[in-house]
A and B are shown apart, each in its own frame.
Chain A
Amino acid sequence: GAVVSQHPSRVICKSGTSVKIECRSLDFQATTMFWYRQFPKQSLMLMATSNEGSKATYEQGVEKDKFLINHASLTLSTLTVTSAHPEDSSFYICSASDPQRPQHFGDGTRLSIL
């Protein structure tokens, strides 16, 4: 069974809406979770590393005010796309585990901004 649960799986909303995506580790504690984005025909690109109880670490070129990450507990990290625009339409997926270990991925969220 899935060890990382991500939802929603699909979101379609109007430009200007803020969208929250949840990533939960179901049967283990995740001090670190990772948020990736994938554009069509491209590879998974790391957006940020979510650290429980502290600020997220963002990759170069990712706006922290645009993509708000909260990791308030050992089992939940949230990514909020604030005031989303069509260019934010993408596939977003989270994972958990130490990078040295196999990653447990969520099912991903397909975000479409009209």
Chain B
Amino acid sequence: ILNVEQSPQSLHVQEGDSTNFTCSFPSSNFYALHWYRWETAKSPEALFVMTLNGDEKKKGRISATLNTKEGYSYLYIKGSQPEDSATYLCAFLSSNTGKLIFGQGTTLQVKP
């Protein structure tokens, strides 16, 4: 069974704090790693699709890194704002199955 784990499960920070969370995934049969932001009552929105070991991608204050050899990706948010409050999902795409396997998500709450 392929396992994708995210930690922490939830996080509460103050506005302005920088934060990061982890997605760990199998280190074999890697094809891609997806990150999504899922706000309440909305659909998940794609943030990044990462494919190469050592990749670092950035979108505004949010960035992500990828280590396929050890099977982890970090998502960083610099200077968190209340509008960053959401659940952040990662999903591992196996080259074996061609299917996305999702982690449970990290729920971020940013207090003003």
Q: Which A residues form the contact surface with B (CB < 8 A)?
A: 2, 4, 6, 34, 36, 41-46, 49, 93, 99-108
Q: Which residues of A contact B99 (CB under 8 A)?
A: 46, 49, 99
Q: Which residues of A contact B11 (CB under 8 A)?
A: none
Q: How far is the CA of A6 from the CA of B44 in the complex (A)?
A: 13
Q: Is the CB of B43 within 8 A of A43?
A: no
A interface, over-half SS:
loop
B58-112 with Cβ < 8 A to chain A: 89, 91, 93, 98-105
Q: Is the CB of B46 within 8 A of A42?
A: no
Count the B residues whose beta carbon is within 8 Å of the partner chain — how many? 23
Known: A43-B102, A46-B99. A103 touches B46 (CB 8 A): yes
Q: Is the CB of A108 within 8 A of B43?
A: yes
Number of A-B contacts (CB under 8 A): 53
Q: Which B residues form the contact surface with A (CB < 8 A)?
A: 4, 31-32, 34, 36, 41-46, 49, 89, 91, 93, 98-105
Beyond A102-B49, A108-B43, 16 additional contacts (C-beta under 8 Å) are: A2-B43, A4-B43, A6-B43, A36-B102, A42-B104, A44-B89, A44-B102, A45-B102, A46-B101, A99-B32, A100-B93, A103-B36, A103-B100, A104-B43, A104-B46, A105-B36
Q: How far is the CA of A34 from the CA of B46 in the complex (A)?
A: 16
